[in-house]
Amino acid sequence: MENSQPVSSSLYVYTPDKGAPIFFAAAFAISALGHIFQCFHHQSWRLMGLYAISAIILTAGYAFRSYGAFFYSITSHGLALYTLSQLLIHISPPLHALANYYVLSRVFGYIPHLAPFSSRKILAVCGGITAFIELLCILGVALAADRTSPPDQQSAGKGLIIAAVALQLTVIVFFYILSGYFRRQITMDKITSPAAITPMVVLYISTLLLLIRGAYRLVDAIADTYTHRDDFGFVQESSPMMRYEWIFYVFEATLILANSAIWNIWHPGRYLPKDHQTHLAPDGKTEVQGVEQPDHRSMATKVGHILTFGAFFGRKDGPLDGEGEAIALNEMAR
């Protein structure tokens, strides 16, 4: 993995390591099983199901990378394995970010009288942006990974990847600011409930990991000159990110695995109430059971809501999780 010498006709520039992707495929498979178990155990598929799905996708991505390490030359078979592994590995981190938005919106719903936005609004905005990021990732990787395509097509793919990562970093920074403001409100209100504190602390750590990974991906995408990969002299003088595989495994695979692991250890389903209608009263101590509102949407509308990551086809019959009731109580208390 330390050999930085370019290899003729290698899709990766270097000779890819065969052991590392096997390790990460197994690690993500274990993480996926953990998330699936906890989603069933805590009845939290709506809250953390994306982490289970992402771990499954990453298991497949690193499995394809492991298999592709034996067929790294520019052939139709090797190119298919390379493109598929790159695609699966690229599309998973935005799902981690979206899952974090779900957690934050759930905490918003648990303490609605302090939330700067309703949980439904934050999901709609972040879900829509995530869907757009995923589209950019898919198109970008598909265009950039094809080493047999014209240079302008590979450059267009690189541009889409840079745009996707830059947009994701922007959203993560906004998310950090929003989380910090909300955490400050919780502290000022002297709320000490583990249901509020623990998920927020893990969110900070998780978002930091995603931020570091995003910064790495942005620098990597800018430094990677897809159209010059066959120029050995150019590659030898290029960014270490192109020449050293270990950088990818440290700043991509390890960080995303760590992010998946911390949510397995401090699963929010252990702390937040199973019933989404349960929320804190304005006194910050008493839990109040809200009134569940019936969902009148058709099955097709509900499916559309899921497929668009919550950006469209949402419920329009009032606040979620007792937010309206909690806000009204808060106004009365004032």
Q: Which region among 87-101, 139-153, 186-200 has the lowest average model confidence (pLDDT)?
A: 139-153
State both tokens at 144: 């950039």
Angle between helices 76-110 and 45-68 (to 10 degrees): 160
Q: Which region among 109-123, 174-188, 242-256, 292-306 has the lowest average model confidence (pLDDT)?
A: 292-306
Nearby residues of 49 by Cβ (< 8 Å), 6 or more positions away? 39
**What was the pLDDT predicted at 23?**
98
- C-alpha pair distances (Å), 271 with each of 202, 212, 268, 275, 288: 12, 27, 5, 12, 16
Rounded mean pLDDT of the chain?
Answer: 83
Amino acid code (one letter) for 143? L
The model's pLDDT over 242-256, given as tens digits with 9 standing for 90+, comes to 778 999 999 999 999
**What was the pLDDT predicted at 247?**
92
The model's pLDDT over 189-237, given as tens digits with 9 standing for 90+, comes to 888 889 989 999 999 999 999 999 999 999 888 876 554 555 555 556 6
* Cα gap 289→48, rounded to integer Å: 22
Q: How confident is the model at residue 278 (pLDDT cuts 50, 70, 90)?
A: confident
Q: Compute the residue count for the chain.
A: 334
The model's pLDDT over 161-190, given as tens digits with 9 standing for 90+, comes to 999 999 999 999 988 888 888 989 898 888
Query: Is pLDDT of 319 > 50?
Result: no
CATH topology of domain 19-333: Rhopdopsin 7-helix transmembrane proteins (1.20.1070)
Count Cβ atoms within 10 A of the Cβ of residue 54 and give its class: 0-12 exposed, 13-18 middle, 19 or more buried. buried
Average pLDDT rounded to a whole number, residues 133-153: 85
State both tokens at 75: 């052939």
pTM over 0.85: no
Phi/psi of residue 231, each to 5°?
A: -90, 95
* Cα gap 132→243, rounded to integer Å: 30
Q: Which region among 61-65, 107-111, 310-314 has the lowest average model confidence (pLDDT)?
A: 310-314
Residues forming beta bridges with residue 73, ordered by sequence position: 10
Q: Are 48 and 39 in contact (CB under 8 A)?
A: yes
Count Cβ atoms within 10 A of the Cβ of residue 19 and give its class: 0-12 exposed, 13-18 middle, 19 or more buried. exposed
**Helix, strand, coil tally for the chain in percent (to 5):** 70, 0, 30
Taking the alpha carbons at both ends of the chain, their separation in whole angstroms is: 63
Q: How confident is the model at residue 330 (pLDDT cuts 50, 70, 90)?
A: very low
Q: How many helices (H) and strands (E) does the chain have?
A: 12, 2
CA angle (298 as vertex; 293, 303 as ends), nearest 5: 100
Q: What are the extents of the domains in the chain? A: 19-333
* Cα gap 211→34, rounded to integer Å: 24
